[in-house]
C-alpha cells in the first residue's frame, strides 16, 4: 500500500508536526469529546492515531440475502426500498423516547430488514434507490431476515461492496466505538504524508510498510493479512525506539567512566565457598562463574539472576559481595521491604562475617543514632556491604567507593530508583535478582542490554509443596489441614488480598480501574495491580484486625494468631515476624508483605483467600514460603470465582510447581500492557507488543538498535534525525511537543 499525501517536503514536515498538536485540532473533536478522550489518555493527534483497535469483526464474507444463513455474520449489498423512523410505545412503567430507524434493503434474491436504534438521522439520509452495504449478524423474526445495528456503508455510483473488516477501538461512555473509528480516520487525515522515522534500509531489510500505510491498515484493514502486516511494522517501530532508549541510557551511564575490575578469586571468595553449609548446584556455580567474570572485566556488569523460589539466589549474590571485599571497595544491597532486608541481614550476615566483610542493615526504622553511625562508616570506606530498603536511596547515604549494586526483586523498583542506586558510584556493576522467571524476550523489552543467568534447580534439601484449589464452601478442608499441622508443632500462613476491604469494595475499585483503561478484559489485572501497587486507599486496618481476631476466636482458638499488613510501621512488622520466626506466633494472617524472601522453615501450610485476585507469579512466590525445609508444605487456593479464565489460571497452579512453566502460561493469558506494566522505562509507550508472540521481532529490534548506536551513538546523521526525535517523543523528552499536546 503506497503512502498517501507525500507532497512537498514542507507539506510532509507540517504533517509530521501535526501529530503532536492537541487532539481538538482533529475534525469533529469538540471540547466535550476532547475531554472524554483525555480520560483515555488521548491528548494529541498522535495519541488518537495510535489508539489502535483491540480486535476486529471479520465480515469479509460477502453473501446475497438468500445465501446469508441465520446466525452467521457477513456483508450484504442491496438497494434501499424504504427507510422509516419509528417510536415504539413504551412499556408500562418505563420512560419513552426510544427511536429506531427501520430500513428495508432488497437485492435480486430477497428482502433484509435493518434496524438501527437511536440513529434517527438515517431516516433522512437514506432514500429509496440508494445502494448500501451492511455488515453484521443475520437474524430471523416476524417472517424476515434481519440485522440489528449493523455497520452501514453507502455505495457511490459504480462502487461494489467488498467484505468488511470492522475495527473495534477501545471506547468510553461519551465516545462510542463507532465514533472512535470516525475520529481515528480524521486523525489519519490530519497527519497524511507525515515523515517515516525508520531509515529506508531497515524498512527494506525487514520488508516493512511505511508508517502512514501501517497506521491506515491497522485502523481500516481491507484484509486480515493487511492488519497483521501493519501490526508487524508498528510493533517493530515501538521496539526499536525502546531499544534505542534503553541501550543508549546504558551506554551513557558508562560514558567517561571506568568500571572497577574486581578481584574474582581472592581470599574472601574462597572463605565464603568454604563457609557455605551446602554445596552449590550446577546452576548456582555457573551463575557465580558468569557474575565473577563480568565483575573482573573493566566494564560495568549488567546482569539479571532469575531463579524460582527456593533456588538460592541469595547465596550466589553473596559471592559478588565477597569479591567486593577482596577488591577493597563497597556494595549496596537493595531490598523491597524491611522484613526482607532484615532477613537478608540474618542469612547473609554470617557468611559475610566468614568472608571478612563488614556489613550493616539500614531501613526507615533504624534509630537515628545507629543510622548516623552506619552512614559515617559507609562514607569513610570502613563498611564493605550495606543492606537496606529505600533508605539506601537517601542523598546522605554516600559510600566512599561503591562498585556493586545488588537489587533484589528488581521489578519492585522504578527506573529512577534503580538509576539513583547505580549513581552512588562510578560505572557501578549491577546485579538484579528476581524470583519471577521471564524469557529473554521480555528481559530485552524491559531492560535492553542485560545478560541473564537462570537458576532452575532447587537444593535437594527442600521438601516442596502440594497445591489444591478450593471453593469457599470447601474452605473447611484447608482449616482442617492447618489445625493438623499446628498440632504437629508446625506453623501456618493465611494470606488475604487487601485485607481491610470487602470483596465488593475490591470489585468496585477494580471495575473502575478497568473502565478507566477502556477495556472490560482488564478487570482481573486491575484487581491484581491494586494490591501489587500497594494501593491501600480505603484499607481498613480495624477490619483486618477483626479477621485475625475471628480466626483466633474460632478456627485457631488453641494457638496464637497475629496480623502482618502493609500499613504497620517497620518496627511493628519486624516484631511480628520475629515472634512468628521464633515460634511465639503459630498463625500469621498477612497480605503480600510475606510474598518475597520470608523464610520460616517450620511454616508448612498456607491458605490464600480470594486467590483468583493474584497473578500466577505472585501466587507462586507466595506458596514458596512453605515447603522450604525438610517438611513438605500444603497450599490451599480459596476462590469464589466461577469464571473459566480464573479457574484455568488456578488449575495451572495445581498442575505444576515450575515457575518457568507458570510464567509462560501467565504471559500467554495476559494482554500486552499487562505483561509490561507501566512502572518500567518506556513500557507505557508499548501499545502493541506481546513478548510471547513477538520474541523474534524483539531480538531483531535489539540487534538493529545496537548496530545503529555503534554507527551513530547520538543518532546525529541526517538519515537518523527523525528517528532520534521519535525516541525523544516516545519517552517524554521533547518539551515542545509535550506543551503542544497539553491542549488549550
pLDDT tens digits, 175-196:
888 899 999 999 999 999 889 9
Count of C-beta atoms within a 10 Å radius of residue 450: 17
Instruction: Identify each DSSP E strand in 138-196 by its residue range.
Output: 139-141, 144-148, 151-154, 164-168
What pLDDT does residue 282 have?
A: 92
Which residue's entry shows cell 491501600? Answer: 536
**Are 607 and 472 in contact, with CB atoms under 8 Å apart?**
no
Whole-number pLDDT of residue 594: 64
What's the rounded Cα separation, in Å, for the pair 31 and 174?
Answer: 12
Backbone angles phi, psi at 146, to 5 degrees: -140, 160
Question: In this structure, are residues 726 and 197 in contact, taking their beta carbons and an 8 Å threshold?
Answer: yes
pLDDT at site 498: 57
Task: Report residues of the chain scoring pLDDT below 70.
Answer: 1-9, 90-97, 157-163, 437, 439, 459-462, 498-544, 592-598, 667-685, 733-744
Query: What's the pLDDT score for residue 153?
Result: 80
CB contact set of 4 (below 8 Å; sequence gap of 6+): 192, 193, 212, 213, 216
Of 445, 379, 44, give the one whose Cα is nearest residue 240: 445
Q: What cell was used for 163?
A: 467484505
CB atoms within 10 A of CB 630: 9
CA-based nearest residue to 190, from 431, 380, 416, 21: 21
- Whether the CB-CB separation of 319 and 272 falls below 8 Å is answered with yes
Q: What is the model's pLDDT at position 355?
A: 94
State the alpha helices, DSSP H only, in 328-428. 338-355, 368-380, 415-422
| Sign of CA pseudo-dihedral 195, 201, 202, 208 | positive
Residue 451 cell numbers, joined: 545478560
Reference 328, options 409, 262, 276, 414; nearest CA is 262
Helices (H), 143-223: 177-190, 200-206, 211-219
CA distance linking residue 114 with residue 83, whole number of Å: 9
Question: What distance in Å separates the CA atoms of residue 723 and residue 716, rounded to the nearest whole number?
Answer: 10
CA distance linking residue 637 with residue 635, whole number of Å: 7
Task: Specify the pLDDT at position 540.
Answer: 44
- Residue 22 has phi, psi (to 5 degrees) of -60, 150
- Grid cell listed for 666: 501467565
Amino acid at each position: 500500500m503506497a503512502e498517501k499525501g507525500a507532497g512537498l517536503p514542507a507539506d510532509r514536515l507540517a504533517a509530521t508536526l501535526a501529530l503532536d498538536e492537541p487532539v481538538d485540532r482533529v475534525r469533529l473533536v469538540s471540547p466535550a469529546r476532547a475531554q472524554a478522550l483525555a480520560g483515555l489518555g488521548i491528548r494529541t493527534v498522535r495519541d488518537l492515531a495510535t489508539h489502535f483497535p483491540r480486535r476486529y469483526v471479520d465480515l469479509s464474507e460477502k453473501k446475497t440475502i438468500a445465501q446469508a444463513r441465520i446466525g452467521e455474520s457477513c456483508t450484504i449489498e442491496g438497494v434501499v426500498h424504504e427507510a422509516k423512523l419509528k417510536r415504539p410505545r413504551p412499556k408500562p412503567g418505563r420512560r419513552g423516547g426510544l427511536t429506531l430507524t427501520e430500513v428495508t434493503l432488497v437485492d435480486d434474491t430477497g428482502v433484509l430488514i435493518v434496524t438501527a436504534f437511536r440513529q434517527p438521522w438515517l431516516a433522512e439520509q437514506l432514500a429509496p434507490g440508494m445502494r448500501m452495504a451492511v455488515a453484521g449478524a443475520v437474524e430471523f423474526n416476524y417472517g424476515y431476515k434481519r440485522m440489528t445495528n449493523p455497520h452501514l456503508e453507502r455505495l457511490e455510483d459504480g462502487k461494489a461492496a467488498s467484505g468488511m473488516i470492522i475495527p473495534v477501538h477501545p471506547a468510553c461512555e461519551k465516545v462510542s466505538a463507532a465514533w472512535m473509528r470516525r475520529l481515528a480516520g480524521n486523525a489519519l487525515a490530519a497527519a497524511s504524508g507525515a515523515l517515516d522515522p525508520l531509515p529506508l534500509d531497515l524498512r527494506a531489510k525487514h520488508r516493512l510498510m511505511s508508517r502512514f500505510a501501517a497506521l491506515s491498515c491497522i485502523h481500516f484493514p481491507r484484509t486480515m493479512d493487511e492488519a497483521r502486516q501493519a501490526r508487524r511494522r508498528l510493533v517493530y517501530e515501538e521496539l526499536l525506539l525502546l531499544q534505542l532508549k534503553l541501550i543508549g541510557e546504558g551506554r551513557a551511564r558508562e560514558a567517561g567512566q571506568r568500571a572497577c575490575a574486581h578481584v574474582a578469586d581472592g581470599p574472601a571468595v574462597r572463605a565464603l565457598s568454604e563457609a557455605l553449609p551446602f554445596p552449590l548446584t550446577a546452576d548456582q556455580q555457573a551463575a557465580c562463574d558468569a557474575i565473577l567474570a563480568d565483575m573482573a572485566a573493566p566494564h560495568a556488569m549488567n546482569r539479571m539472576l532469575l531463579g524460582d523460589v527456593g533456588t538460592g539466589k541469595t547465596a550466589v549474590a553473596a559471592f559478588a559481595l565477597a569479591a567486593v571485599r577482596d577488591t577493597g571497595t563497597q556494595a549496596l544491597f537493595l531490598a523491597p521491604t524491611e522484613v526482607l532486608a532484615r532477613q537478608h541481614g540474618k542469612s547473609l550476615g554470617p557468611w559475610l562475617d566468614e568472608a571478612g566483610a563488614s556489613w550493616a542493615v539500614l531501613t526507615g526504622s533504624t534509630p537515628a543514632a545507629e543510622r548516623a553511625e552506619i552512614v559515617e562508616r559507609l562514607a569513610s570506606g570502613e563498611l564493605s556491604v550495606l543492606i537496606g530498603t529505600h533508605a539506601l536511596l537517601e542523598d546522605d547515604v554516600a559510600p566512599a567507593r561503591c562498585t556493586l549494586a545488588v537489587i533484589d526483586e528488581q521489578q519492585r523498583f522504578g527506573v529512577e530508583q534503580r538509576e539513583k542506586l547505580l549513581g552512588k558510584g562510578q560505572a557501578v556493576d549491577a546485579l538484579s535478582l528476581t524470583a519471577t522467571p521471564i524469557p529473554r524476550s521480555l528481559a530485552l523489552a524491559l531492560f535492553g542490554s542485560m545478560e541473564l543467568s537462570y537458576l532452575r534447580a532447587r537444593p535437594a534439601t527442600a521438601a516442596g509443596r502440594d497445591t489444591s484449589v478450593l471453593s469457599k464452601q470447601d474452605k473447611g478442608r484447608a482449616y482442617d489441614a492447618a489445625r493438623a499441622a499446628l498440632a504437629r508443632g508446625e506453623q501456618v500462613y493465611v494470606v488475604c488480598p487487601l485485607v481491610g476491604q470487602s470483596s465488593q469494595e475490591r470489585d468496585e475499585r477494580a471495575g473502575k480501574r478497568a473502565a478507566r483503561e477502556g477495556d472490560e478484559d482488564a478487570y482481573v489485572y486491575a484487581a491484581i495491580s491494586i494490591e501489587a501497587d500497594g494501593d491501600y486507599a480505603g484499607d481498613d486496618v480495624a477490619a483486618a484486625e477483626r479477621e485475625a481476631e475471628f480466626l483466633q476466636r474460632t478456627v485457631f482458638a488453641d494457638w496464637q494468631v497475629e496480623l502482618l499488613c502493609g500499613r504497620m510501621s517497620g518496627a511493628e512488622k519486624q516484631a511480628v515476624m520475629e515472634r512468628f520466626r521464633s515460634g511465639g506466633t503459630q498463625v500469621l494472617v498477612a497480605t503480600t508483605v510475606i510474598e518475597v524472601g520470608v523464610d520460616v522453615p517450620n511454616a508448612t501450610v498456607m491458605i490464600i483467600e480470594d486467590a483468583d485476585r493474584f497473578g500466577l507469579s505472585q501466587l507462586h512466590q507466595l506458596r514458596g514460603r512453605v515447603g522450604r525445609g525438610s517438611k513438605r508444605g500444603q497450599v490451599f487456593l480459596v476462590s469464589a470465582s466461577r469464571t473459566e479464565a480464573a479457574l484455568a489460571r488456578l488449575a495451572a497452579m495445581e498442575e505444576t510447581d515450575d515457575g518457568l512453566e507458570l510464567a509462560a502460561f501467565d504471559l500467554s493469558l495476559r494482554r500486552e500492557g499487562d505483561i509490561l506494566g507501566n512502572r518500567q522505562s518506556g513500557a507505557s509507550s508499548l501499545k502493541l507488543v506481546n513478548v510471547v508472540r513477538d520474541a523474534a521481532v524483539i531480538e531483531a529490534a535489539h540487534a538493529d538498535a545496537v548496530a545503529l548506536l555503534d554507527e551513530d551513538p547520538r543518532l546525529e546523521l541526517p538519515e537518523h534525525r527523525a528517528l532520534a526525535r521519535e525516541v525523544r517523543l516516545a519517552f517524554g523528552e521533547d518539551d515542545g511537543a509535550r506543551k503542544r499536546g497539553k491542549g488549550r
